Amino acid sequence: MLEHQNIKPEPITKDDASWFQPLFKICFERDDLWLQHLGDQKYEAFHINRQAFIFTYTVENYTDLLTIGVHPDQRRRGLACSLLKWMIVKAPEEQKFFLDVECENVAAIQLYKKVGFELISIRKGYYPQLSGLALDAYVMTYQK
């Protein structure tokens, strides 16, 4: 857990665009979709040392995990797992978490299962690709 690593996630704000936009782009090879929403109380974003980040959208006791990313040079060091666990721990009791993940993203699927997320459905053609095709997504959930 993050406390054991002496790492404290910090909030991301719209003012962080200068460092966050390039980080998002290197993680996902596309522009960020979420930073513009910060300021709306339903959206939250946190980072660890400007190397890992998580964005969520919460309405009442439902939280959608919109994205989680780690700089390629920092992957496989437990940052995403620690950040995800921290997000769950800080949430109120009875919180329900949902996420979509590309069916081909084996590393992310393993991470979510490790934390306790379960597969509940598949969304066909959910993630559009530059080729014109679209990849399927798993819908996963976690109940606190």
CATH code at 2-143: 3.40.630.30
Predicted TM-score (pTM) of the model is 0.87
Average pLDDT of the chain to the nearest whole number: 91
39-56: average pLDDT = 93
- Angle (CA) 40 75 30, round 5°: 50
Domain ranges of the chain: 2-143
> What is the tens place of the pLDDT at every residue in 33-43?
788 888 888 99
Supply 15's token pair.
């003012």
- Angle (CA) 15 19 21, round 5°: 90
Would the pLDDT of 32 be above 50? yes
